Chain A
């Protein structure tokens, strides 16, 4: 479904990604794991065209995204749930969700999508008229994921959904991710919380200082001695 081919990218003269390639097949949940500053967020930003790669390409369902502007990426079926949620804090929960179905195609099916999201997150329905910025971190994360789902995406990009949340909430967020998978969404998830994420995804890539160091099925990575030593403290 999604192919990232030899992508390099950076900010100004700083390079964050070096020749990164990865693939996500339809129906899969794939993780990109690695420490702070490894370039995980940059990778997602390249995929959703918020920044342009210096070389390499991103291909979604056979179509090269290099000439697609950021606001058209959603129409291609990619929904990006950005790091730190990036809700519109002064809009209500429902308005935030509505924004997720902004493009005309999604707007037509807006009511139906909204029901789906409310069914998935009953909490959001209770809070629908509350300003998004006034909710707790976990609720905001739900709202951000809900906003992503509103466009009816084929591929959901999740950037550090556990960041800044209490351990109990982190558990909830990951079980949500599991449910979303069960609904048939293809998910690419970027996480520092390696132990948790490897229990949700099928495969993962280990990204370190901008290059892919290791990849494979989750079980294999969980068993890998380097990962156990460096990241799991075992």
Chain B
């Protein structure tokens, strides 16, 4: 109840942000946080069940490239192109996921398979140079008037802010729906013991495929949204290993098991990247990657529940000063 009121206030506060007359830069930061917050949420929907994907860039790439190519070459509106891209991603997830889950490729081995998937998509984009522009990337053809609902292009940043806000909220809603579904129990059980889960009646393969496809479809939407916002895409920035790993890092930093964890991760990584960029410029190449890696290690050792998880653990501890004294009725 309390959290619902807090949530309402939070959403209302976010909704008036563009009216505050923020400059373009700050609005840009906020939109970026919302888009990546949504992507990270999409990853964590699956990642929280021990299904660590190191290749979600694959789905981002499909979202960005399929929607953009359909628009650029055939003039097909992203309103159609995005669902098409989501279907492509889900088919890809099915193709890779089914054999993995059927033959119990879990843990590190699953992570390696997804890592390969991300690379396959990236190399495919690079390889299809004539269609995709290869490593040089691709520009989304702009509409002459600058703003068009049909083309999902908005010259004005604050309109795009609302689009991103809606999508991000949608991601949180899906997170909550999954959290309250039997699918969650099925997946938690499967992540602990597949045999035991199967013997209480969980179709482990199906449950895992479902969550992978949900996660893939959402990530694809995130990729397409990113393309619509940036108006320029590049295989490295949507499907590179760096992006796939950044997703994992951000979610672990923010908190894997809480609804807002991935968003907090997005804020954290973005602030970090911006601070590094402003302080050091582009002088020291690879500095951000080094710091990410270092922080990731520190987070895993000292804050395995991430920022939000640690804050919540702290709050419960304060509310109940002596946790050991809780009697068993």
Contacts and interface: CB of A to CB of B under 8 A. Distances in A.
Interface of A: 48, 50, 69-75, 79-80, 82, 86-91, 95, 98-100, 102-103, 106-107, 126-127, 130, 147, 151
B199 A50 contact: yes
A82 B201 CA distance: 14
B188 A90 contact: yes
A126 B196 contact: no
A133 to B, nearest CB: 9
B321 to A, nearest CB: 19
Among A95, A102, A126, A130, residue most surrounded by chain B Cβ atoms (within 10 Å): A102
B198 interface: yes
Given A95-B185, A102-B182, A88 B192 contact: yes
A11 B329 CA distance: 46
B185 A98 contact: yes
Contacts, number: 68
A98 B200 CA distance: 10
Nearest to A105: B201
A130 B323 CA distance: 13
By secondary structure, the B interface counts as helix
Interface residues of B, number: 19
A231 B193 CA distance: 33
B195 A50 contact: yes
B31 to A, nearest CB: 37
A86 B195 contact: yes
**Residue of B198, B202, B329 most packed against chain A (CB within 10 A):** B198
23 contacts: A48-B199, A50-B199, A70-B199, A71-B198, A71-B199, A72-B201, A74-B200, A75-B201, A82-B196, A86-B196, A88-B188, A88-B189, A88-B196, A91-B189, A91-B192, A95-B185, A99-B197, A102-B182, A102-B185, A103-B201, A107-B182, A126-B329, A127-B328
